[in-house]
Amino acid sequence: MNNTGQPARPLREIEDEVLAEGQEWMRQRLQQKLQQEADRSGRVFPPQPTPSLARSRKNDAPAHRRRRR
């Protein structure tokens, strides 16, 4: 047994630390895989909005402000 004078860490603290490390590893791995797929297909994510979509969103705004009487 380790008698260095330091109190034992709670198991919940150790579990949370290991889970956080695992989530970060998975996030990095997913990012790596997605980048490889993007490089392979030559596409960019997120896709850039087309000018027609940007225009239609601007024109829709006044319709949301109208009230029915």
- Is 23 within the bounds of a domain? yes
Number of domains forming the structure of the chain: 1
Q: Distance between terminal CA atoms of the chain?
A: 78
- Is 16 within the bounds of a domain? yes
Residue 10 has phi, psi (to 5 degrees) of -65, 145
- Is 21 within the bounds of a domain? yes
Residue numbers of the domain that contains 43: 11-62
Q: How far apart are CA 14 and CA 20, in angstroms?
A: 10
- Is 2 within the bounds of a domain? no
pLDDT band at 48 (very low <50, low <70, confident <90, very high): confident
* 52, pLDDT greater than 60: yes
pLDDT of res. 64:
62
- Is 6 within the bounds of a domain? no
Regarding pTM above 0.85, the answer is: no
> CA triplet 67, 68, 69: central angle to 5 degrees?
115
Contact between 44 and 38 under an 8 Å Cβ cutoff? The reply is yes
- Is 40 within the bounds of a domain? yes
